[in-house]
Amino acid sequence: MNKLQDKILPFLLAMAFFSPQMMYHTSPVLNTSRIAEIRELLAIQDPNALIAYVFGADGRIMQKVAFCESGGTHYNKDGSVIENKKTGDVGLMQINESIWGKTAKKLGLDIYEMEDNVRMAKYILKVQGLNAWKPSFQCWRTL
């Protein structure tokens, strides 16, 4: 299980298995529609799907940014996280660790985890806009 799943699974399972009737001491009812939602959320392993889910309306442009920054992947073939040792950029969204690492930790995010890398990129987009990915502008503006 990944970090996101570890954080939300207990809560989501509780929400899925019990309906509001449980609060009134009636017999619990299995809520199958919530179980389907939970499975869908926990199954987001595809980088493009994760970006679309986290960014919403900004998802398409950020998918382009991710493609230009990291080839659209968070991991190397050997399973290690993509890192640019020269620049200090990490993962799918190529978050610069020396610039954003402390902020990420304050926000409870680990940029080495794909979900957190994307969530940090959303924070950066809100704070700095697309200027944070300006070095790859020539690539993503044409996609």
Angle made by CA atoms 85, 6, 76, in degrees to the nearest 5: 25
Share of the chain above pLDDT 70, in %: 69
Q: Is the pLDDT of residue 9 over 60?
A: no
Tell if the pTM clears 0.85, that is, is over it. Answer: no
Contacts 24+ apart (CB under 8 A), 80-85: 81/112
Q: What gap in Å lies between CA 101 and CA 78, rounded to an integer? A: 24
- At 111, the amino acid letter reads I
Q: Is the pLDDT of residue 22 over 60?
A: no
Residue 136 CB contacts under 8 Å (≥ 6 apart), including other chains = 65, 68, 69
Tell me the average pLDDT of the chain: 81
Q: Both tokens of residue 51?
A: 């970006």
Mean of the pLDDT values across residues 3-17? 52
What pLDDT is attached to residue 53?
82
Report how many helices (DSSP H) and strands (DSSP E) the chain contains, helices first: 7, 3
Residue 143: CA atoms inside 13 Å, Cβ hemisphere, count? 17
Q: What gap in Å lies between CA 82 and CA 75, rounded to an integer? A: 5
